Amino acid sequence: MISGTASVDELAAGAPEIAAFGTESVRLGGVTGLSLVAELRRPAREAVLPPGLHPIVPPAMSLLAWDVSESPWGAFSAAFVRVVCRSGARARTFCVGAAASTHDAVAGLRSQFGFPAHQAEISLRRHYDEVDLRVSAEDDDGRSHVGGEGGSAGRNGRGNGLMLALSALDPDPLSVGDLQHVGSMNLAHTPLGLRLVQVETHHEPSRVERLAARIDAFDAGAWGQPLLDPYWAVSCSVSLEDVEIPAIRFVCDPALPAAEGTERVQ
């Protein structure tokens, strides 16, 4: 069994703060969701995860994007870059970077659920047979700090503020039960200390389609992890759904295996 080798101290530098664990779930209505899985090159396997999480073979990235119509934070869009991993025996992802389109959504995602979100311009557009996603830093210097230090790697997006661009073609309908969602482990400063916060979303899709995706630009550094190189797109799906983000129930010490370092919050 292999474990992450990233320095917890270095990962902690940009981690959000959860001042108090909430008890209420957050419900997102009228969500257009995009989910993409891409394989990563081997150097990213252990190096991007804290010791409390375990990589999979081959290393893979899970990109999640939402265009939300209704929420306690108003309408917003968001994108999450996550590394597929295991926490104990459980399938999870480690969120290395996140972006949201409004101040309220950034604040809510960071303070309630520990997503390392920063504000960015996000466009998730659905056409008849195509879906486009673009995420751009809003400041003018092209060095967004979404998820950490400024970009130093990636392709195409460097230097112009473009963090991510992808297009997906030829939607193929699936049953709503065919889509597998995997929860996030978000590193955050919590009342219990620096912890991996387990966020499991519940999805109620009304429509699911699978598409063939192409990643046109990905600035890994802008997402906080220069080692990420999503070179092989595996799958892409688009769904119309409602999403519930339940209150946090479990947190884990990022330096310990889940069997030893898990604490129940409520």
Partner 1 sequence: MKFGIFYELSVPRPFSRANERLTYHNALEQCRVADELGFDHVWAVEHHFLEEYSHCPAPEVFLTAVAAQTQRIRVGHGAVVCVPEMNNPIRVAERAAALDIISNGRLELGTARSSTWTELGGFCADPDDTKKTWDEFCRVIPQMWTDDDFGWEGARFEMPARNVIPKPFQEPHPPMWVTVTTPGTELDAAERGLGCLGVSAAPFAEQERRTTEYYRRVANCDPVGSFVNDQVHTLNFLYCHEDYRQAAALGLPMVGAFSMSNAHLYFTREAYPTRAYQTLGNAGAALRSRGTPNGSAPVDDPSVAKGLPEGVGIGDPDHLVRTIRKWEDVGVTGINFLLNAMEMIPQEQVLDSLRLFATEVIPQFQTPDERAARVQAPTSVPDVSATGAPAPSTMPAGASR
Positions touching partner 1 (CB under 8 A) are 1-2, 37, 39, 54, 56-58, 60, 84, 86-92, 174-175, 177-180, 182-183, 198, 200, 208, 210, 234-235, 237, 249-250, 252, 258-262, 264
Nearer to partner 1, 87 or 186 (CB): 87
CB of 127 to partner 1, least distance (A): 20
In angstroms, the CA 107 to CA 117 distance is 8
CB of 146 to partner 1, least distance (A): 25
CB of 181 to partner 1, least distance (A): 10
Nearer to partner 1, 49 or 222 (CB): 49
Nearer to partner 1, 119 or 184 (CB): 184
CB of 183 to partner 1, least distance (A): 7
CB of 219 to partner 1, least distance (A): 24
Nearer to partner 1, 92 or 118 (CB): 92
Nearer to partner 1, 76 or 94 (CB): 94
CB of 208 to partner 1, least distance (A): 7
Nearer to partner 1, 161 or 261 (CB): 261
* b/e burial code for range 224-263 (CB count within 10 A of at least 16 → b): bbbbbbbeebeebbbbebbbebbebebbbbbeebbeebbe
155 exposure class (CB count in 10 Å sphere: 0-12, 13-18, 19+):
middle
